[in-house]
Amino acid sequence: MSNRIIPESNIVLPSEWNTGLCDCFDDTNICLYGLFCPCFLFGNNVKRTPSITTWRCPCFLYGYNIICLNCWYIHKRQRLNIRLAYGLPSGCGDCPTATFCGPCALCQEARELNIRGL
């Protein structure tokens, strides 16, 4: 599915995620990347996301926040950027998804960006 943009107003119409949160094995490369190198996958997702929020050193920032046990905070903001860019639903919310399903959420976001050609 791709979302439709109304040209004269740049409004993004709602769409659905192309893969589910637990469809990690749909792309084993992304699955392994998200499991063993979540910092790098997060940084890669940030670079490919069209958004107004810019991050400096997203890979380092995510890694530092993993050590401090609060990587959910920056991840929920990044997930929100992706959802707003494509009009995607939040499901159970960005904060619980990033907190309790972080690696799966990172993989879902990476698959979504791949499917959308970014």
- pLDDT tens per residue, range 68-101: 667 777 888 888 888 888 889 888 888 888 888 8
Mean pLDDT of the chain: 81
In percent, the amount of the chain with pLDDT more than 70 equals: 81
Q: Domain for residue 24, yes or no?
A: no
pLDDT, position 10:
54
Q: Domain for residue 16, yes or no?
A: no
Range of the domain at 93: 31-49+57-118
pLDDT, position 52:
60
Q: Domain for residue 112, yes or no?
A: yes
For residue 56, give the 3-state DSSP assignment. coil
Residue 51 CA to residue 92 CA, distance in Å, equals 22
Residue 94 CA to residue 9 CA, distance in Å, equals 26
pLDDT, position 24:
86
Q: Domain for residue 4, yes or no?
A: no
Q: Domain for residue 99, yes or no?
A: yes
- The answer to whether the beta carbons of residues 81 and 51 sit under 8 Å apart is yes
For residue 78, give the 3-state DSSP assignment. helix
Task: Using the predicted structure, report yes or no on whether residue 3 has a pLDDT greater than 60.
Answer: no
Domain count, the chain: 1
Task: Using the predicted structure, report yes or no on whether residue 106 has a pLDDT greater than 70.
Answer: yes
Q: Domain for residue 96, yes or no?
A: yes
pLDDT, position 7:
46
Q: Domain for residue 22, yes or no?
A: no
The pTM assigned to this predicted structure is: 0.79
Q: Domain for residue 7, yes or no?
A: no
- pLDDT tens per residue, range 19-40: 998 898 889 999 999 999 888 9
Task: Using the predicted structure, report yes or no on whether residue 102 has a pLDDT greater than 70.
Answer: yes
